[in-house]
Structures are given as structure tokens and as C-alpha cells.
Structure 1
């Protein structure tokens, strides 16, 4: 149930991301998607754990999702000009490098 609620929240955040200014909101969407992919891997790991380890891994997944949402919002708010960026710069922005 928790995973369904988190997925629904992530989808809701992605749908709201299209309300930005003149920048390229796709970069923000890609950053959030990258974080969601990492969080899903953590959820799978947590499914194979129990007790405190499971709780810690689930908390890490939640934090990863939250960081992805914050990054998406920051990118969208900055209205970055993706056309003026190299692919390496875009990858760095999306993946936090």
C-alpha cells in the first residue's frame, strides 16, 4: 500500500511539473525519474530485508524520492536553457554529478 501511495504522489508531482516558465521542464522530469528509479531499487532491496535494516532502506528510498522532487522543482524554477547545455552538463544536472 505504501508503495502505491508513493508512486501516486510521484506521478502527481510529475504532472504538476509541466507548469513552469520558458525553460525546458524535461530536464526536471528526467531528474525526478532518475531518483524514482534509484528509489525503486532501494524498495526492492528493502523487500528482501527485515527489521531495522528494512526500515532504514525504506527511509533511504523515501529520502531519494524527496530529493528527486526537490531537484525537479529547482530545475524547473531555474528555467534552464537546455538547448544551450552540452549532453554532459545535462547528465550532470539530472544525475547530480
Structure 2
């Protein structure tokens, strides 16, 4: 999970500690956190509750983050960015395929 946080933080040009900080932060920090929570949930098959505990958030916050990020995959640019992050985090293509199957 730390690898995911590190990869996402680097991609967004942020300090990794901001993604697990108690404060919401700027919109960019919030989006980066949502992406990291999504990748942790999808890439490692962790429950919302487990991801929430790791990020210091409630499970409903993680569920919301996953919905937001999944919906953003309809944008080709964002889908490519997420696929690149999945590879950079060592998650491969399988998580993206599993995530998009739910939209069909």
C-alpha cells in the first residue's frame, strides 16, 4: 500500500504524507487520496473498511472515492493516467479490467 501512496503522490507532485494526513487538504490532495484509495481497493482487493483504516478514513469515504475515480475512467485521459499508475505501482492491467467489468 505504501508503494501505491508513493506512486500516486509522485504522479500528483505531492508529499506522500499528505495522502494519509487527517486534514482533507487542497482539491488536488483530495483527488490524489481518492486515486490512492481506489488503487488500494481494486489492486489489492482490500475491503473499504481496511483501506479506510490505512488512510485514516471511514469506509463510506473510501466507497465514495472509489465511485468518483471509477466514474472518472470514462474520460480517456484519466483512464490512461490510472492505467499508467496501476503499472507504476506494480498492479498490472488486471485491476483495471476488473474495475471496468462492473460498468458493463
* Structure in which a larger fraction of residues adopt helix: 1
TM over 0.5: no
- The TM-score, its normalising length taken from structure 2, stands at 0.26
